Structure 1
Amino acid sequence: MMTGQTGQTGDPPDSEGDDTEEPEDTTGPGTSSTTEQTGGTNPTSGPVGPTSTSEGETSTSAGFIVPPDGGISGQCDPRVQDCPEGQKCTAVAPAEGEPWGVNTCVEIKGDGAVGDPCDVEDGKYTGIDNCAVGNICLLTDDEGAGGVCVEFCDTNDACPDTPTANCVVYNDGSLPICLGSCDPLLQDCPEGQGCYNSAGDLFVCFKESAMPGEGGPGDECQYINQCQKGGFCAATAAVANCPPNSSGCCTPFCPVSGGNGPCQAGEECTPFFEMGMAPPSYEDVGVCVIPA
């Protein structure tokens, strides 16, 4: 078993480009953490957060920075919304071509509530959107169009306007957001999104970024949402037919009670969580990996 994922990555649910540590090789589930870990496990200590890139690389899909700690950077705190009147605190890119990484005050341009459609002006990382104070426009295309207003977590890691969501913290603490919880076996997220593991024992909805014909079992991945719906980005050594020099490879989630049906030859449906650590209703969640 492998424990502890501490690498950084770089941007959110539909976004993605950033720095991340490569996954360490493993043949069985190990724990993974983004914010605070509470016992979840997965077959890699590598790829986490919706898309990011290793140092010196850029990503064409969305990504979060998934830090081990959640420090706030910039001139304001999105959890507190401490900007002057007429402005709101949001996450923006620290430099052109980078994903969200700092917090700053921007002019309020709209009153979009959680779940409302939204757009971001001048590219998806500027923070200038038509969502209300306390919300940010995510899940957009590269131009910043076609997004959805998402709530920032409060200081207690709660989601007052999205009570069924999970608070997850990405991008060095600059992106504490509320994402809908989901079941990886049911894949019960809104259209265009997949159910992916994040922050140890949490499963949340991210925008699926796999291109047609990519992200299937054994296909290379670096970010969790580069796999097709129902897939998990595991460490190279854990997946059959995974290119040896890849960052990681996609492999299916599977019901432990259902045998090895969706798994490739040489893999077994292995419990995703350590024995006795699965949250309620996730006891049957497994993932196809090469047995240790």
Structure 2
Amino acid sequence: MDGGSSAGNLSTGGSGEEDADDPISSGVTFVSPDSGHAEDGWCSAWVECNDSKCVPSSFVDGVWQSTVCVPVLGQQSVGEACDPGQLSTDNCDMDSWCLPTDAGGDEVCVAFCWEGPSCPSDKSCIQIDELGLGLCLSSCDPLQQDCADQDYACAWSGSAFECTATFGEVDPLQPCADSQDCDPSALCLEASALSSCAGESCCASLCSLSAGDAPCQVIDPAYECVAFYEEGSETPPEYADIGVCMLPA
């Protein structure tokens, strides 16, 4: 949930778990599929694979669960068409990984990245869940819904706000299993963060911090627009204005 720093990354924990890196400032966790990496043999941007490259593996319930070192099988460079292969292998070079384009077309090689300005100006270094790997991906604004393709929505993927053709339709204040169930304008929160929720967790509306609490108080007078990222954590600039309508801590 998840710049490519390990602190304040764009990752979410499973329901009921508290995590110092969880973005919500009140400590209430977003409800997302559990993520993690293998206890042994995992790699990251800081744990090298020698002559191999470190890539995500084991994609379960919309979340990459682990990492693995794989051989470099090709020399396709960033932006070039590629073959994703099997078991996390591809034909991209050492510095990139094969992914579908943002517009849902053919796969291209996407650059790995680390914290700092390591991506082109039209990309952001987005952390892949909690794996210690970042990719230069097109960021979008869920408050503006600014995806170029009208068939796509800017929605929370479990690690970042991304343009996707696959997104939930559950309205705010309705029960959800995780944030991928919710309408792109909402995230799944534990019931304790909301004044009204018929399940263990429900969708909660996103809000603009610069607009203040008033839009949230239309939903419930007790709500505030609470910062998406925990106070004091490293907030990516593109997410600095994003909040969630919920009860204050």
d(CA) in 1 for partners of 2:232, 2:47:
36
Using the alignment, how far apart are the partners of 2:236 and 2:44 within structure 1? Answer: 31
Look up the match of 1:153: 113
1:33 aligned residue: 21
Identity between Structure 1 and Structure 2 (%): 24
The reply to whether residue 74 of structure 1 matches residue 67 of structure 2 is: no
> How many Å apart are 1:101 and its aligned residue?
0.8
Aligned-partner Cα distance in 2 for 1:263–1:238: 17
What is the aligned partner in structure 2 of residue 205 from structure 1? 162
Q: 1:168 aligns with which of 119, 124, 127?
A: 127
Residue in structure 2 matched with residue 288 of structure 1 by the alignment: 245
Cα pair distance change 1:89/1:127, threshold 3 Å: same
Name which of 149, 163, 186 aligns with 1:231: 186
Q: For residues 263 and 33 of structure 1, what CA distance do their matches in structure 2 show?
A: 30
Task: Give the corresponding residue for 2:94.
Answer: 133
Distance, in Å, in 1 between the alignment partners of 2:71 and 2:165 is: 28
SS at match of 1:93: strand
Between the aligned partners of 1:94 and 1:254, the Cα distance in structure 2 is 30
Count how many residue pairs are aligned between Structure 1 and Structure 2.
230
Secondary structure of residue in 1 paired with 2:184: coil
Matched, 1:23 2:11: no
Residues of 2 paired with 1:217 and 1:181: CA distance?
A: 23
Cα deviation, 1:35-70, whole Å, max 9, x if unaligned, reads xxxxx544653226xx524xxxxxxxxxxx368xxx
SS at match of 2:245: strand
Aligned residue for 2:219, secondary structure, equals coil
So what's the TM-score if we normalise by structure 1? 0.56
**Which residue is 1:120 aligned to?**
84
Contact residue 66 and residue 171 of structure 1 kept, 8 A: yes
Name the aligned partner's letter for residue 14 of structure 2.
E
Aligned to 1:255: 208
Bigger shift: 101-110 or 188-197? 188-197
In 2, distance between residues paired with 1:22 and 1:275? 21
Name the structure 1 match of 2:55.
90
Q: Matched residue of 1:260: which SS?
A: helix
Matched with 2:3 is none
Alignment match of 1:220 (pick from 171, 175, 200): 175
Q: Distance in 2 between matches of 1:89 and 1:160?
A: 18
Q: 1:219 to 1:242 in 2, by over 3 A?
A: same
Which residue of 135, 150, 160 corresponds with 1:177? 135
5+ residue gaps, structure 2, are: 1-6
Contact 2:216 2:245 (8 Å CA) reproduced: no
Q: Distance in 2 between matches of 1:75 and 1:284?
A: 34
Matching residue's letter, 1:45: V
Deviation of 1:180 (Å)? 3.9
Give the root-mean-square deviation of aligned CA atoms: 4.7
Find the aligned partners of 2:237 and 2:70 in 1 and give their Cα distance: 39
Residue 244 of structure 2 aligns to a residue whose secondary structure is strand
Query: What SS is found at the alignment partner of 2:113?
Result: coil
Matched-pair contact (CA < 8 Å) for 2:129–2:158 = no
Contact map agreement 2:72 2:93 (CA 8 A) in 1 = no
One-letter identity of the residue aligned with 1:237: S
| TM score, norm. by length of structure 2 | 0.63
1:52 matched to 2:13? The reply is: no
Unaligned runs of 5+ in 1: 10-19, 26-30, 35-39, 54-64
From the superposition, tell whether residues 33 and 75 of structure 1 become closer, same or farther in structure 2 (CA, over 3 Å): closer
SS in structure 1 at match of 2:215: coil
Q: Secondary structure at the match of 1:52?
A: coil
